[in-house]
Amino acid sequence: MAAPTALTLPVTALSDFEALEGTRVTVLDLTVTETFDLGRYGEDGQNLEPMPYLGESGTLSIGDGVGEGAAVMHYGFDVAQRVPLVRSRLAAPPKNGRRGPSGAAKTRLVSVPFETLDDLETAMTEAHADERWEEALTLADQLVLVDPDASPAWQIRAISRTYLMRHEEALGAYDDALHHIGRLLDEADDEVEVEFLDGGDADTDPRAVLHFNRACELAFLGRREEAFDGLRASMAYDPNFGPAARRDDYFKAYFRDPEFLELTRSATLN
């Protein structure tokens, strides 16, 4: 992974940012000049949590210095912006033992910049393995923005949305995953192996389970015909997903549907 490009400020013209759009950069010795937009919109989204650039105190004030951190140059809302690569961690509860309404000692989220994309991917896969779905989703969304060839991230950002019951979002995420993983497989050759989630490779095509999960979401949302088409697409890769659909609660509304029974029965006979 190439090192980020050092960005020196001020630039002579705003057009100087154009050559760096979409690339990783580092900037030294930034100073906070306002906090409302950061608190309201983050750097490239709304009401981000964790909030980028917060220090160990969990706060950020005008005049504070912000150290070096990897980010991606992005253009939006008529300004050039840095999209930070951050992870969240739970800091220890305050020593005074103050407790919230639930009775649990409060914790706080602290933004910690990642030094490399490998660190970001490791944190993402660990969050996925530990079923920390919110964290896995956030990290996967960050990783695909910076490295669109990170195939496990496309899978994790979709799967996490399913577990978080964000069904409409999940559909779009599965479409993205199918598109990009298809692209990566088309571009792969004997010298380049495409890495997939859970240690898979090009011989264990992940599109079967992606189509199946997408069909589950469609079934849950009551989009019957699309769900059945998605199930057929999954079964084209692996017929075992037919019997799996008969056991999946997402298809519960169709357990007595004649077309569903015929579709999944044909798979069990092959």
Per the CB < 8 A criterion, the answer to whether 13 and 60 are in contact is: no
Per the confidence metrics, is the pTM higher than 0.75?
no
Helices (H) and strands (E) in the chain, counts: 9, 8
Handedness of CA 219, 225, 226, 231 (dihedral sign): positive
| Highest mean pLDDT (candidates 135-144, 200-209, 214-223) | 214-223
Task: Compute CA distances 159 → 11, 15, 177, 216, 222, whole Å.
Answer: 41, 39, 10, 12, 19
Amino acid 58 reads: G
**Distance from C-alpha of 100 to C-alpha of 103, rounded to nearest angstrom:** 5
Q: What is the pLDDT of residue 144?
A: 87
Q: Report which of residues 111 and 258 the model is more confident about.
A: 258
3-state secondary structure of 86: strand
β-strands 65-66, 24-26 pairing: unpaired
pLDDT over 90 at 129, yes or no: yes
Question: Per DSSP, which regions of 91-237 are E strands?
Answer: 109-113
**pLDDT tens digit string along 171-208?**
999 999 999 999 988 887 655 566 666 544 445 688 99
Cis ω before 50 (30° cut-off from 0) = yes
Query: How large is the angle between the packed helices 258-269 and 224-237, nearest 10 degrees?
Result: 0
Q: What band does 263 get if pLDDT is binned at 50, 70 and 90?
A: very high
Residue 53 CB neighbour total at 10 angstroms: 21
pLDDT at 268: 52
pLDDT digits (tens, 9 = 90+) for 1-33: 556 777 776 666 666 666 766 666 776 666 665
Average of pLDDT values for 139-151?
A: 86
Q: Which comes out higher in pLDDT, residue 88 or 209?
A: 209
